[in-house]
Amino acid sequence: QVQLVQSGAEVKKPGSSVKVSCKASGGSITNFAMSWVRQAPGQGLEWMGRIIPMLGLTYYAQKFQGRVTITADKSTSTAYMELSSLRLEDTAVYFCARGLRVGPTLDWGQGTLVTVSS
Amino acid sequence: EIVLTQSPGALSLSPGERATLSCRASQALGGTYLAWFQQKPGQAPRLLIYDTSSRATGIPDRFSGSGSGTDFTLTISRLEPEDFAVYYCQQYGSFFYTFGQGTKLEIK
């Protein structure tokens, strides 16, 4: 059973960037799709985008296009999500999730709290 | 981008009752690419149903999914105390996935 282990909580200033990592322990990411989903305090789930490492393809939700970059290192089974030009409303828990190339997000990381505060 | 609208926003029921949650898509999904998730406070979501009606590993058979086109339903036949949580639908029929806004299932 794969375990997705995310990097720790971050506190950032408005206008800065944050990069969150997600390492697959006990499994690979190469033949899967790695998605990033965020959840603002008391709010619902918001899909941000995904990467298919084997194909090098990325897809981003329109809302985050131009501000988010999702990458993957197949050699270390680690996915990354970088969000730039941070705003106060980007404060949220950011989850990574693994799924089939066409399929739901099956395995989830524990979440990383990103707080944007001046 | 496909928009998913869940109803009701909140549902208040008692253990033992039947719960019916709805998810409507803004356009017909390609295939049966609709999933349901359960989320409890402080936890990551857990996959319950995929491909509209297939139960994920370890999910009890009181959970069932149905639907096609633009209208999908999650049914919990007899509510257990541990079923009270927030439920989300997710579509993966396009390159760009989306979630519904969630239905909160509360104990009456």
Please tell me the distance from the alpha carbon of residue A15 to that of residue A12, in angstroms, as a whole number. 9
Is the CA virtual torsion B41, A112, A61, B68 positive or negative? Answer: negative
Length of chain B: 108
Chain A: residue whose CA lies nearest to B32? A103
Name chain A contacts of B56, Cβ cutoff 8 Å: 106
Contact (CB<8Å) B56/A111: no
Contact (CB<8Å) A99/B92: yes
Q: Are A58 and A49 in contact (CB under 8 A)?
A: yes
Mutate to test the interface with B, among A105, A106, A112 (most CBs of B within 10 A): A105
- Taking 70 as the pLDDT cut, the residues of chain A under it are none
Length of chain A: 118
Please tell me the distance from the alpha carbon of residue A95 to that of residue A117, in angstroms, as a whole number. 20
Q: Which of residues 60-99 of A touch B (CB under 8 A)?
A: 60-62, 95, 97, 99
Residue B30 has pLDDT above 80, yes or no: no
pLDDT per position as a tens digit, B63-108: 999 999 999 999 999 999 999 999 999 999 889 999 999 999 999 9
Joined tokens for residue A48: 């941000």
**From the CB of residue B26, how many other CB atoms can be counted at a distance below 10 Å?**
12
Q: Are B4 and B71 in contact (CB under 8 A)?
A: no
Nearest Cα residue to B51 out of B80, B91, B81:
B91
Confidence of residue B19 (pLDDT cuts 50, 70, 90): very high
Please tell me the distance from the alpha carbon of residue B70 to that of residue A107, in angstroms, as a whole number. 26
Percent of chain B with pLDDT over 70: 100
DSSP H or E stretch at residue A38: strand A33-39
